[in-house]
Amino acid sequence: MEATSPASPVKKPSPLLNRQIPIVTRSVKGKFRTFKTAVMVIAYSVYFLLPWMPWERSNAASQALMFDLESRRFFIFNLVVYPQDIFWLAMLLFIAAALLFFTTGLIGRAWCGYFCFQTLWTDLFIMIERLIQGERPARLRLIKQPWNAEKILKLGGSHFLMILVSFWTGVTFAAYFTYAPDFVHNLFTGHAAEAGYITVVVLTITTYVAAGLSREHICTLACPYARFQGVMYEPDTLAVAYDVRRGEGTAGRIAPGKGLRTREERQAQGHGDCIDCGFCVQVCPTGIDIRDGLQYQCISCGLCIDACNNIMDSVGSPRGLIRYDSEQNIASPVPHKPRLEWKRPKVLGYAASLVIASIILFYNIGTRSDTEANVQQVRQPLFVMLSDGSVRNRYQVNIINKTEHEQRYYLKVQGIPAESLDLGNIPEIRVRAGKTLSLNAKVDLTSEQAKMTKQFSFVVTPTIAEAEPVVVKTNFHSH
């Protein structure tokens, strides 16, 4: 504190001390709202209905999409994913990241504005509020009025609906991990697994708290993406932007009044097109003023564009005072029509990594084998000298049957005499559907053979016709 003003009050308190104002948004019509609603309908249809889609399966629950943790298999339509395929998950995550960066570099936070589940559920919950409590003025009035029957009924009703939606969100989530019809039945009769109840309760609470109570605070305070989006934005990136020069003119924005009604009158006095109606602020789900410029709170949902366009239409000004445009273009002396500027190293780099990763993933899935085998050499001891001087190495051979039925296999060796392989007393190798069988394999080579052999291969062949053998190379140690 400065010595000259010993008792001066704290002038600028930290923003953390601000009381948070609940955001009550006004609804709006327009193309971005329509797009958001369309995305919402599709996303919810997929999310809520997919676990109920039947799919014929011989040895597992007939559910099209099921992440069966108990049997360690993910059923994705006709694709069965095993833990060994964890590489696919890594590729999928990489593709998701590349897609996110690519889109952000090109058109900003499209994910946040239209697709993120936080946005979708918040949007739905705001719709529920509007349905029960009415439009923004009615809701504001309701907040201010004392607690009476109407307020209790309306607020309670909308929160009850939100909790109901949250609950069904949790139930649906859990249904992806088990056979949905049985699960839902067991859930209500009290026979579902403990993990099922925990999942439903946790998902219900988190959904309700995140989308019903916290809302934009999740985006502004909790979500890391909002904070690192800045590194992906470039001057050419399209973002929701307010055309400051057009809106403010030289004398600033002003509400229409006497002598300021037409565009010509306003321009003559140096005022811009913005009539300071505040609709862009009222519709914003994160409660910001887009006219202050690009902010980390902006989730790029485009609702302020819809709101502003409607106002511009009604006052007779051209649309696009708030629009998707690049920082560069808005600042240029003669802005051109906003367009996608994709010929940039960053965007092309993201696109290239996206394409390469997708090709690798799909190639890998497309060429997957129904049989997988791996070999672990027994290392204690690495090799054994036998009584006649020959050398024994031992291996654990794991055969994974990825088909949907029991399968027999031949196990042979390649590069060394066939009779040097000893599988003990196992008469034939049978592996159940989706299971792994590990076998003790001994390989004995005479001391001469052992000296010449550094490597050989195990060959696993399913007994069915036209089956591709799986060859696994391994080492042979003799000293």
Partner 1 sequence: MSQDKAATTTTPKTTGHNWDGIEEYTNPLPTWWIWGFYITFIFTVVYWLFYPAWPIGDKFTKGIPGLHTITYKATTVDGKEVEKTTHWNMRSKFMHEMNEMEGVQKQWFDKVAAMSFADVSKDAELMQFVNSAGKTLFSDNCAPCHQAGGQGKIAFSPNLTDDHWQFGGTYDEIQQTINHGRKGFMPAFKEVLNEQQITQLANYVLSLSGEPHDAAFATAGAQLFKSEDAGCYYCHGENAKGNTQMGSANLTDKIWLWADVPGKATQESKLAEVKKVISGGLDRGVMPAWGGRLKPEQIKLLTVYVHDSLGGGK
Part of the chain binding partner 1 (CB under 8 A), chosen from 9-17, 75-83, 217-225, 325-333: 9-17
Among positions 290-319, residues that touch partner 1 (CB under 8 A) are: 292
**Which one of 54, 83, 293, 389 is in contact with partner 1 (CB under 8 A)?**
389
Nearest approach in angstroms of CB 445 to partner 1 is 14
Interface stretch with partner 1, choices 1-9, 118-126, 238-246, 300-308 (CB under 8 A): 1-9
CB 127 within 8 A of CB 169: no
Tokens of residue 438, six digits: 């590990």
The residue (of 111 and 242) whose beta carbon lies closer to partner 1 is: 242
What is the Cα–Cα distance from 319 to 310, expressed in whole angstroms? Answer: 8
Binding-site member from 260, 378, 413, 433 for partner 1 (CB under 8 A): 378
Which one among 77, 380, 465, 479 touches partner 1, defined by CB under 8 A?
380
- Please identify, using beta-carbon distances, which residue of 18 and 58 lies nearer to partner 1: 18
CB of 83 or CB of 259, closer to partner 1: 83
Residue 10 binds partner 1 (CB under 8 A): yes
Contact track, partner 1, 20-59, x by CB under 8 A: -x-x------------------------------------
The answer to whether residue 427 forms part of the interface with partner 1 (CB under 8 A) is: yes
Q: Which is nearer to partner 1, 315 or 423 (CB)?
A: 423
Q: Could you tell me how many residues of this chain bind partner 1 (CB under 8 A)?
A: 45
Site residues for partner 1, window 120-159 (CB under 8 A)?
A: none
Question: CA 210, CA 205: separation in Å to the nearest integer?
Answer: 8
390 CB-near residues (< 8 Å, 6+ apart): 444, 445, 446, 447, 450
Of 416, 331, 405, nearest in space to 370 by CA: 405
> Tokens representing 467?
């089956």
Q: Which residues pair with 238 in a beta bridge?
A: 326
Q: How far is the CB of 284 from partner 1 (least distance, A)?
A: 8
Q: Annotate 103-120 with b (16+ C-beta within 10 A) or e (fewer).
A: bbbbbbbbbbbbebebbb
**Least spacing, CB of residue 278 vs partner 1, in Å:** 8
Nearer to partner 1, 78 or 380 (CB): 380
Identify the H or E element spanning 317: none
Residue 301, helix vs strand vs coil = coil
Rounded distance between C-alpha atoms, residue 224 and residue 32, angstroms: 25
User: Distance between alpha carbon 120 and the CA centroid of its chain, in Å?
Assistant: 13
* CA nearest neighbour of 346 among 231, 246, 426: 231
Considering only 40-48, 374-382, 449-457, 470-478, which stretch makes contact with partner 1 by CB under 8 A?
A: 374-382
Single residue of 343, 424, 466, 479 touching partner 1 by CB under 8 A: 424
Give the length of the chain.
479
Binding residue for partner 1 (CB under 8 A) from 274, 439, 450, 460? 439
For residues 302 and 281, is the Cβ–Cβ distance under 8 A?
Answer: no
Q: Are 461 and 410 in contact (CB under 8 A)?
A: yes
| Residue 287 and residue 23 in contact, taking contact as beta carbons nearer than 8 Å | yes
Please give the residue ranges that form the binding site for partner 1 (CB under 8 A): 1, 5-10, 13, 15, 17-19, 21, 23, 281-282, 287-289, 292, 378-381, 384-389, 392, 394, 396, 422, 424-427, 429-430, 437-440, 442
